[in-house]
Structure 1
Amino acid sequence: MTTATQTRSVIVEREIPQPLSKVWKALTRSHLISEWLMANDFDLRVGHQFKLRGVWGGVLDCEVLSFEPERSLSYAWDHDNDDPLYALKSVVTYTLTPTDTGTLLRVERAGFRTEQKQAYGGAHAGWKQFLEKLEAVAAIGG
């Protein structure tokens, strides 16, 4: 008998006072992603494999899974680590919804195992910081 592994998601939402087009550019242009998230070789093509390079020296293996222009973007985000508490295969999904004052951006990073409490908490805090930077990038670079 096998038991299913329970996972949970980090979900962060932010209202950004910019139109969908500017937020979408910040999410999908490699040079803009580098400004708010990490250095990368992203390209908006389903199946494109790319790397995110953290300032700490770590490299994340990613792959574009799906997108709908100015609506949603999903990619695999795999972080290998010798310590199983930090190794994580996850999926990041961005959902954009127009509002009266701009764009509601919802980020969900799914795949945290129940024993990964520290990684889960770190991701929750980290995504809030990333979205704050994304808002600034969308305002000037979008």
Structure 2
Amino acid sequence: MTDTTTLDAYGVLIEPMTLRLQRMLPGPIERIWSYLTESELRGKWLATGEMELKPGGAFEFVWHNDRLTDHPEDRPAGIEAQHSMRSQVVQVDPPRLLTIAWGERGDVTFELEPRGAEVLLTVTHRRLPDRDTLLKVSAGWHAHLDLLGVRVRGGQSTSFWREWSRLRTDYDARLPH
């Protein structure tokens, strides 16, 4: 069992190309589940896309990261304003577990565990193909999960792209080469 008083916001490699991040979020668990599975709520922190919640259920994530910040900002060079990815549900056990195929970049599992009035969210991204992708994905998940925490607490977002760029540099220094 995880000691939630010492959660590190940074992701850790639990295998050479498998990243795990954890966040404590205000419950109840069904509320956090909604932010993972409902397109409108998920679009406030990650990507939109109607998801059929059954194994094999196909869906498309659509990212509009420029819209995640409450104020305009410049995006890093080489990153598109909109990005989409076809995917499918691999495993689902509401409201505790959701695994989805992550396009060509492995799969992602979201695990929710009630902890009193809070919920421990564990995100595990498996089979990342290379170090560059690992750094982008690590910074991306970190920034998106921080934004999820802001959204579920009713706060205002900070600069998404500035945070993503800073976090990419941080992960480059933190993760083994």
Superposed pair shares fold, TM > 0.5: yes
Q: Give the whole-Å Cα distance in 2 for the aligned partners of 1:131 and 1:120.
A: 16
Q: Give the whole-Å Cα distance in 2 for the aligned partners of 1:39 and 1:12.
A: 21
RMSD: 1.8
Q: Give the whole-Å Cα distance in 1 for the aligned partners of 2:150 and 2:53.
A: 22
1:71–1:95 contact (8 Å) kept in structure 2: yes
1:74–1:93 contact (8 Å) kept in structure 2: yes
Letter in 1 for 2:86: D
Which 5+ residue runs of structure 1 have no aligned equivalent?
1-5, 79-87
Match of 2:69 in 1: none
**In the alignment, which of 50, 53, 59 is matched to residue 44 of structure 1?**
53
Between 1 and 2, higher relative CO (CA 8 Å, sep ≥ 6) is seen in 1
Deviations 1:45-97 (A, max 9, x none): 3211111122333221110111111211001011xxxxxxxxx3310100011
Letter in 1 for 2:150: A
TM value normalised by structure 1: 0.78
Q: How many residues align?
A: 124
Report which of the two has the higher share of strand: 1
Identity of aligned residues (%): 25
Q: Does 1:103 align with 2:112?
A: no
Letter in 2 for 1:138: V
**1:41 to partner: Cα distance:** 2.5
Letter in 2 for 1:53: V
**1:7 to partner: Cα distance:** 6.0
Q: Give the whole-Å Cα distance in 2 for the aligned partners of 1:34 and 1:43.
A: 16
Q: Give the whole-Å Cα distance in 1 for the aligned partners of 2:93 and 2:55.
A: 11
Q: Give the whole-Å Cα distance in 2 for the aligned partners of 1:16 and 1:77.
A: 24
**In the alignment, which of 123, 128, 141 is matched to residue 127 of structure 1?**
141
**1:99 to partner: Cα distance:** 1.0
Which of structure 1's runs of 4+ aligned residues deviate more than 2 A? 54-58, 135-140
Deviations 1:4-42 (A, max 9, x none): xx9621111011122211111111111111111112232
**1:136 to partner: Cα distance:** 3.2
Mean Cα deviation higher: 44-53 or 63-72: 44-53
**In the alignment, which of 12, 16, 23 is matched to residue 14 of structure 1?**
23
